Structure 1
Amino acid sequence: MASTQQSIEKISINQKIGLLVPYVKKRIMAQVQSVALIVIYLICFQTIVLNIAISEAAIVATGISVVVLGLAFFMEGLFLGLMPLGEVIGIKLPQKTKLPIILTFAFILGIGATFAEPAIGILKAAGAYVKAWDAPLLFLILNKYSNYLVYSVSVGVGIAVLFGMLRFLYGWSLKPFIYILVGILSAFSFWSLFQPNMKFLTGLAWDCGAVTTGPVTVPLVLALGIGICRIASGGTSESSGLGVVTLASLFPILAVLSLGAFYLNIVPHPTEEAKFFARENRSKTLNLFNDKNEMIGYALQNAQANSQIALFDGSQEKMLEFIGKLKKDPILRKSVFGKEDIELLKNWAVQKGIESQRLAIFCEPNALKEALKNYSGVKNIKTSPVDVLLRNGKAAVQAIIPLTIFFFLVLFLVLRDKLPRPDEIILGIILAVVGMCLFNVGIELGLSKLGNSVGSNIPSSFTKISLINERQTIINFNEDIVQSAIKPNGEKEKFFHANIKNEYVPIPFVQSAYDASNKQYIYTPTKGPLFGEEKGILGFLVVLLFAFIMGYGATLAEPALNALGLKVEELTVGTFEKSLLIRTVASGVGIGMLLGVVKIIWNVPLVYLLIPPYLLLLIITKISTEEFVNIAWDSAGVTTGPITVPLVLAVGLGIGKQVNVVEGFGILSLASVCPILAVLTVGLYVNKKRKAMQQESA
Structure 2
Amino acid sequence: MQRALVDKFKESAQSVLPIAAIVLLLHFTLAPLPSGTLVLFLPAIVLLILGMGAITLGADMAVMPMGELIGAKLTESRNLWLMILVSFLLGLALTLAEPDLQVLTRQVPAVPDFVLAGTVAFGVGIFLVIAMLRILFQVRISHIFILTYALVFIVAAFTAPEYMGVGFDAGGVTTGPITVPFILALGAGASAVRAGKSTEEDSFGLCALCSIGPILAVLIMGVFFDPTSTGYAFDTPATANSIGELAALYAGGMVGFFLEVCLILVPILVFFGAFQVVNLKLPRGQLIRIGVGLVYILLGLTIFLTGVYIGFMPAGTYLGHAIASLSNNWILVPLGLVIGSFIVAAEPAVHILNKQIEDLTHGAVSRRVMMLALSIGVGIALVLGMIRILTSIEIWYFLLPGYAIALLLTFCVPQIFTAIAFDSGGVAAGTMAAAFLLPFALGATDAVGGPLLLDAFGIIGLVAMMPLITVQVIGLVYQIKMRRAEAADRKQARETFEKENTEIIDL
TM-score (norm 2): 0.89
Structure 1 residue 90: deviation in Å? 2.3
The answer to whether residue 169 in structure 2 is matched with residue 207 in structure 1 is: yes
- Give the direction of change, closer, same or farther, for the CA distance of 1:52–1:225 in structure 2 (3 Å limit): closer
Instruction: Look up the match of 1:147.
Output: 114
1:577 aligned to 2:442? no
Q: Distance in 2 between matches of 1:417 and 1:29?
A: 32
Distance 1:23 1:205, change over 3 A: closer
Matches within 5 A, 1:47-62: 47-51=28-32, 53=34, 55-62=36-43
Q: What SS does the corresponding residue of 1:49 show, helix, strand or coil?
A: coil
**How far off its partner does 1:51 sit?**
4.7
d(CA) in 2 for partners of 1:204 and 1:423?
39
Structure 1: which amino acid aligns with 2:306? Answer: V
Q: Among residues 614, 634, 653, which one is paired with 2:423 in the alignment? A: 634
1:405 aligns with 2:270: yes
Look up the equivalent residue of 2:61 and give its one-letter code.
L
For the 8 Å contact 1:96–1:415, the answer to whether it is kept is no
Give structure 2 stretches of 5+ with no counterpart: 236-244, 491-507
Q: Give 1:657 shift.
A: 1.3
**Cα distance, 1:459 vs. partner?**
1.1
Residue 604 of structure 1 aligns to a residue whose secondary structure is coil
User: Who is 1:443 aligned against?
Assistant: 308
* Residue 238 in structure 1 maps to residue 200 in structure 2: yes
Q: Which moved more, 1:419-428 or 1:35-44?
A: 419-428
Q: Counterparts of 1:25 and 1:625 in 2: how far apart (Å)?
A: 38
Counterpart AA for 1:613: G
Match 2:457 to one of 652, 665, 670: 665
State the SS of the aligned residue for 1:87: helix
- 1:168 matched to 2:149? The reply is no
Deviation (angstroms), 1:29: 2.1
In structure 2, distance between residues paired with 1:25 and 1:691: 44
Q: Distance in 2 between matches of 1:40 and 1:218?
A: 27
Aligned residue in 1 for 2:338: 549
* Distance change >3 Å, CA 601–CA 23, structure 1 → 2: same
Q: Is the 8 A contact 1:576 1:686 kept in 2?
A: yes
AA matched with 2:24 = I
Q: CA deviation at 1:81?
A: 2.0
* Superposition pairs of residues 408-423 of structure 1, within 5 angstroms: 408-423=273-288
C-alpha distance in 2 between matches for 1:241 and 1:617: 20
Figure out how many residues of one structure are paired with residues of the other and give that number: 479
Please tell me the residue identity of whatever aligns with 1:391.
Answer: G
Once the two structures are overlaid, the 10-residue window that deviates more, 57-66 or 619-628, is: 619-628
Superposition deviation, residue 590 in structure 1: 0.7
Distance 1:170 1:233, change over 3 A: farther
* Relative contact order higher in (CA < 8 Å, ≥ 6 apart): 2
The structure richer in helix per residue is: 2
CA offset digits 1:128-186 (Å, max 9, x no partner): 5xxxxxxxxxx2x2xxx321111110111111111111122222211111111111222
| CA gap 1:235/1:156 in 2 versus in 1, 3 angstroms | farther
Q: Is the 8 A contact 1:46 1:53 kept in 2?
A: no
Deviation at 1:97, TM superposition (A): 5.6
Question: C-alpha separation between the residues in 2 aligned to 1:684 and 1:69?
Answer: 40
Inter-CA distance 544–256: structure 2 relative to 1 (3 Å threshold): same
Which runs of 5 or more structure 1 residues have no equivalent in the other structure?
1-18, 129-138, 193-197, 271-284, 290-297, 303-379, 461-527, 532-538
- Alignment RMSD (CA, Å): 2.4
Deviation at 1:381, TM superposition (A): 12
* Separation in structure 2 between the aligned mates of residue 385 and residue 557 of structure 1, nearest angstrom: 26
- How far apart are the structure 2 equivalents of 1:585 and 1:450? 26
Query: Residues 96-148 of structure 1: CA distance to partner in whole angstroms, max 9, x if unpaired?
Result: 461211221111111111111111111232135xxxxxxxxxx2x2xxx3211
2:323 & 2:413 partners in 1: Cα distance? 39
The question of whether the paired residues in 1 share the 8 Å contact of 2:33 and 2:315 is answered with no
Partner Cα separation in structure 2 for residue 54 and residue 692 of structure 1: 60
Q: Paired residue for 1:30? A: 11
Counterpart selection for 2:185 from 201, 223, 240: 223
Q: Deviations over 1:181-222 (max 9, x none)?
A: 111222232344xxxxx1111111111010101111111111
Q: 1:251 aligns with which of 213, 234, 237?
A: 213
**What secondary structure is seen at the aligned counterpart in 2 of 1:234?**
coil
What letter matches 2:80 in structure 1?
L
Question: Which string of whole-angstrom CA distances, capped at 9 and with x for unpartnered residues, describes residues 207-256 of structure 1?
Answer: 10101011111111111111111222534432211111111111110000
Cα distance in 1 between the residues matched to 2:337 and 2:44: 25
Q: 1:544 to 1:411 in 2, by over 3 A?
A: same
Paired residue for 1:478? none
**1:674 and 2:463 are equivalent in the alignment:** no
Deviation at 1:383, TM superposition (A): 6.1
- Is this contact kept in 1: 2:30–2:323, CA < 8 A? no
Shift of 1:36: 0.5
Letter in 2 for 1:171: Q
Separation (CA, whole Å) in 2 of partners of 1:176 and 1:24: 41
Contact 1:46–1:457 (Cα < 8 Å) also in 2 = no
Secondary structure of 1:201's aligned partner: helix
1:259 Cα deviation from its structure 2 partner: 0.8
Deviation of residue 423 (structure 1)? 2.4
Q: Identity, % of aligned pairs?
A: 26
Q: CA deviation at 1:634?
A: 1.3
| Equivalent AA in structure 2 for residue 692 of structure 1 | R
- Report the structure, 1 or 2, having the larger strand content: 1
What is the rounded CA distance, in whole Å, between the counterparts of 2:335 and 2:32 in structure 1?
15
2:80 paired with 1:99: yes
> Aligned-pair distance for 1:55?
4.7
The answer to whether structure 1 residue 592 and structure 2 residue 377 are counterparts is no
CA offset at residue 623 of structure 1? 2.3
Paired AA for residue 113 in structure 1:
L
The equivalent residue for 1:75 is 56
2: distance between equivalents of 1:401 and 1:419? Answer: 20
Aligned to 2:95: 114
**Matched residue type, 1:246:** A
Matching of residues 472-511 of structure 1 within 5 Å: none
| Residue type of the alignment partner of 2:76 | Q
3-state SS, counterpart of residue 254 of structure 2: helix
Matches within 5 A, 1:292-331: none
User: Normalising to structure 1: TM-score of the pair?
Assistant: 0.65
